[in-house]
Amino acid sequence: MYPLLVEQLTPEVVLAQFAHRRPAGAQRYLLPKLGAMNFVLDAVLDGGVNGALNLDAHGKALSYLILKTEIAVPSDLVCRLAGSPG
């Protein structure tokens, strides 16, 4: 599953998900041994943790925008993940 996520969850896709926050850029850091990715979005916290007047100054609640991103999964992989024969 990780290679599929790496292929489809690009910095460009993440920028599109956060377009309403007007990020200045996005960097993706791959952590393959953990099966993880870390995204850094520039200028989305309205002045940073100390200067932001919003309720989520650290931006932790914004992660749902990535979690709701739709990923195209090939049908053979869906069958394998579901445990049913192809």
More confident residue, 28 or 85: 28
Quickly count: other Cβ atoms within 10 Å of residue 76's Cβ.
Answer: 9
The CA-based dihedral angle spanning residues 33, 37, 40, 46, taken in that order and rounded to the nearest 10 degrees: -130
pLDDT at 36 over 60: yes
Structural domain spans, the chain: 2-82
The rounded distance, in Å, linking the Cα atoms of 25 and 3 is 23
* Per-residue b or e along 52-75, where b marks 16 or more CB atoms closer than 10 Å to that residue's CB: eeeeeeebeeeeeeeeeeeeeeee
Quickly count: other Cβ atoms within 10 Å of residue 45's Cβ.
Answer: 19
Please give the average per-residue pLDDT across 48-64, as a whole number.
65
Mean pLDDT for all residues in the chain: 84
pLDDT at 62 over 90: no
pLDDT digits (tens, 9 = 90+) for 16-25: 998 988 889 9
The predicted model scores a pTM of 0.76
Element (H, E) at 30: strand 25-31
